């Protein structure tokens, strides 16, 4: 089914087929259960591919599986600052559950840009994994896929804002990295694309807050930091997954 509907997912599954943890992530008791479990399975296998030591040096350079024909490798991140520093910029409770896990946790909150980008890519790739099989999902195991993608994009945008205002030397270093700037733009546009494609299946692959989180991601201050960092202008109309230049 992935071969027909999402070839990139098929290629990732093949690339990770020998991972010893695969069976822990998937439900093989029924096809419906299998389809539902693919959000977690693809999320975790994206982590496994991205964070393989042959491709990633923690806090130095990262890799990201984007699709079957495009993977980012050796993208410099130059360390960074703890991601918990973005908490003061979050003024609502739309992402409270994930905030507690990834920002307030004593360990997770100390992760730097590497952690932000790794979670963003895994969370995003888990969304098409269930969007393309949505009609077979009967349970609630994938019901926050859209929320996860929108939240991790929020974290990335806020991280860039804090970098500029609180860590100007670090901001200058990462802004001078073309591969990192390209990756950030790619991930923003990918998120927009899959949030749009999955929108009709809210309730199966996402809750009602996903669109509210997305609206905050398009606040002027967030779009401004994205465009300043990437040097590109993004569209805010119905074609949000495209650039305007």
DSSP-assigned beta bridge partners for residue 65: 71
| The residue to which tokens 């990335």 are assigned | 156
Locate 109 and state its tokens.
Answer: 């909150």
For 153-206, the DSSP string reads HHHHHHHHHHHHHH-HHHHHHHHT-HHHHHHHHHHHHHHHHHHHHHGGGTTTS-
Q: Tell me how far apart the alpha carbons of residues 71 and 40 are, in angstroms, rounded to a whole number.
A: 20
Tell me which residue of 197, 112, 193, 196 sits closest to 155, measured CA to CA.
Answer: 112
Domain span holding position 119 = 2-230
Exposure string for 193-206, b = 16+ CB within 10 A, e = fewer = bbbeebeebbebbb
* Number of other CB atoms surrounding residue 241 within 10 Å: 17
pLDDT at position 72 is 97
Tell me which residue of 48, 55, 54, 53 sits closest to 71, measured CA to CA.
Answer: 55
pLDDT at position 127 is 97
Cα-flanking dihedrals φ and ψ of residue 76, to 5°?
-70, 140
* Number of other CB atoms surrounding residue 60 within 10 Å: 12
Q: Residue 72, SS3?
A: strand
User: How far is CA 211 from each of CA 62, 106, 174, 195, 215, rounded to the nearest angstrom?
Assistant: 29, 29, 29, 8, 6
Task: Report the length, in residues, of the chain.
Answer: 245
Exposure string for 1-28, b = 16+ CB within 10 A, e = fewer = ebeeebebbebbbeebeebeeeeebbbe
| Residue 126 maps to a domain | yes
| Residue 237 maps to a domain | no
Our count of domains for the chain comes to 1
| Residue 241 maps to a domain | no
Residues 6 or more apart in contact with residue 196 via CB below 8 angstroms: 240, 241
| Residue 32 maps to a domain | yes
pLDDT at position 121 is 98
pLDDT at position 139 is 86
Q: Tell me how far apart the alpha carbons of residues 5 and 136 are, in angstroms, rounded to a whole number.
A: 14
User: How far is CA 103 from each of CA 67, 126, 240, rounded to the nearest angstrom?
Assistant: 28, 20, 28
Q: Tell me how far apart the alpha carbons of residues 55 and 194 are, in angstroms, rounded to a whole number.
A: 26
pTM of the entire predicted model: 0.96
| Residue 120 maps to a domain | yes
Strand extents, DSSP E, 40-194: 61-67, 70-76
| Residue 170 maps to a domain | yes
pLDDT at position 23 is 87
As a whole number of Å, the end-to-end CA separation of the chain is: 35
| Residue 236 maps to a domain | no
| Residue 240 maps to a domain | no
pLDDT tens for the 245 residues of the chain, in order: 899 999 999 999 899 988 998 889 989 899 999 999 999 999 999 999 999 999 999 999 999 999 999 999 999 999 999 999 999 999 999 999 999 999 999 999 999 999 999 999 999 999 999 999 999 999 888 999 999 999 999 999 999 999 999 999 999 999 999 999 999 999 999 999 999 999 999 999 999 999 999 999 999 999 999 999 999 999 999 899 999 98
């Amino acid at each position: 089914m992935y071969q027909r509907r999402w070839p990139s997912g098929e290629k990732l599954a093949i690339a990770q087929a020998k991972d010893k943890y695969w069976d822990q992530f998937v439900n093989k008791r029924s096809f419906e259960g299998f389809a539902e479990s693919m959000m977690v399975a693809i999320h975790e296998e994206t982590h496994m591919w991205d964070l393989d030591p042959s491709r990633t040096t923690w806090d130095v350079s990262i890799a990201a599986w984007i699709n079957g024909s495009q993977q980012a490798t050796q993208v410099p991140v130059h360390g960074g600052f703890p991601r918990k520093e973005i908490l003061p910029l979050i003024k609502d409770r739309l992402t409270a559950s994930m905030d507690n896990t990834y920002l307030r946790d004593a360990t997770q909150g100390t992760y730097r840009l590497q952690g932000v980008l790794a979670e963003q890519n895994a969370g995003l790739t888990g969304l098409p994994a269930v969007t393309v099989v949505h009609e077979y999902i009967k349970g609630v195991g994938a019901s926050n896929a859209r929320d996860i993608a929108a939240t991790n994009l929020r974290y990335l945008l806020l991280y860039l804002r804090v970098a500029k205002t609180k860590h100007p030397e670090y901001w200058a270093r990462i802004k001078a990295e073309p591969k990192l700037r390209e990756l950030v733009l790619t991930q923003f546009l990918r998120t927009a694309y899959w949030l749009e494609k999955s929108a009709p299946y809210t309730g199966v692959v996402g809750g009602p807050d996903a669109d509210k989180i997305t609206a905050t991601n398009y606040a002027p201050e967030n779009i401004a930091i994205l465009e300043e960092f990437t040097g590109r202008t993004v569209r805010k109309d119905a074609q949000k997954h495209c650039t305007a230049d």
